[in-house]
Structure 1
């Protein structure tokens, strides 16, 4: 039986965020160990003690940040979203010489997990864990951040034939992010994900007026 979001305990959330360089290095090492152990032993075989040993730190040091493996998972998901937002800002929004088609191509590949330089690792079981680590407030926060990311990308697309309406921006966000999550859940292999990304990119171009649909003969 799934735990209601109203039953989340403080142990399901990270205790603090790393501020100093040394602390950030330690937390990154914890995340790296977390991923290795999950890939090797699965979620059920993952413990905070294993993560501490694999990282080479004291269990108490890990508990300073993550009081449980659910809190560690919550922190990792948050870390992945932040890294994604940073990557989009660097590769899609910031460059000044890109036309809209290139920006959208890069964005869809990043959101689809197809960028080879993208460090985040995801597993379908992570969605099963959502009720344990995130309530609606935190999900809405992530939703708002990703929607704002779309707004920044489209604001950088200065060659659009017309400005995108707020409804179009939200529809694009829902279509792409929802498609990625569903594809992850059903385990689409990479070849099909590549085709999905190509068709999704075409859909985005159509919605933004950057190409036209050919009329069948």
Structure 2
């Protein structure tokens, strides 16, 4: 019986090639088409569930030829993989737009926005970052994919902290990386544990308070060291 994975290398399974998108759109028309495919994909999944979702149905609902869809996505696993990458790109762009680029924000507001974007498992802008996806994640993600996401998030967090020009003292790179693990790892566990909305809100608030308090503490420690 085939497991959906290809040959193993060094003890680590590799995905079947059909679980990977064939290409990413670059021209405006192709980008529009693929985004329409993603929208239909989300609607069908939410309506019918993963087991009943087919690439043919996605093509029909999108209004594109099945061959056009197969130019990008040879299977529904490849479609899911492409969609997750697309939403991660959107998340990183939101961090740029809402956290890094604004010039009028004080550092506390900037950090709270950063934490919320990273942590919130109920963000309506990420409709399939949910428990259903976590159950089949092994079909679309390899270790290197997780490593890439971690590096990209760490880079955005470093940029966000660097944008805090009113923050007296910058945290170390290792501290920022630890926060990323804590924030993104917590979000992923929330998706698994499925806490109530109230519990999730309390966790988000605590994460914001904890990191802001830690940043204030770092600055105060640095100020006391300068005094001596």
Same fold flag (TM > 0.5): yes
Contact 1:161 1:210 in 2 (8 A): no
- Higher normalized contact order (CA 8 Å, seq sep 6+, divided by chain length): 1
- Structure 1: runs of 5 or more not aligned: 213-217
CA distance in 1 between partners of 2:218 and 2:146 (Å): 34
1:140 aligns with 2:150: no
Of residues 63-72 and 104-113 in structure 1, the stretch that sits farther from structure 2 once superposed is 104-113
Paired residues for 1:192-203 under 5 Å: 192-203=199-210
Partners of 2:118 and 2:183 within 8 A in 1 = yes
* TM, length-normalised to structure 1: 0.90
* Partner residue in 2 for 1:74: 81
Q: Which residue of 2 aligns with 1:93?
A: 100
TM-score where L is the length of structure 2: 0.86
> Cα gap change, 1:51/1:2 in structure 2, threshold over 3 Å: closer, same or farther?
closer
Aligned CA-pair RMSD: 2.0
Q: Does 1:129 align with 2:136?
A: yes
Number of aligned positions between the proteins: 211
Q: Does 1:62 align with 2:73?
A: no
Q: CA deviation at 1:104?
A: 1.1
**What is the alpha-carbon distance in structure 2 between the residues aligned to residue 159 and residue 16 of structure 1?**
42
Cα deviation, 1:182-212, whole Å, max 9, x if unaligned, reads 1111112322221111001011112212699
CA distance in 2, matches of 1:112, 1:176: 5
Alpha-carbon distance in 1 for matches of 2:52, 2:204: 33
Stretches of structure 2 that go unaligned for 5 or more consecutive residues are 220-228
Is the 2:99–2:160 Cα contact (8 Å) retained in structure 1? Answer: yes
d(CA) in 2 for partners of 1:36 and 1:109?
25
Does the 8 Å contact 2:55/2:75 carry over to 1? yes
Partner of 1:120: 126
Cross-structure match for 1:188: 195
Structure showing greater Rg:
2
Detail structure 1 runs of 4+ shifted over 6 Å in the superposition. Answer: none
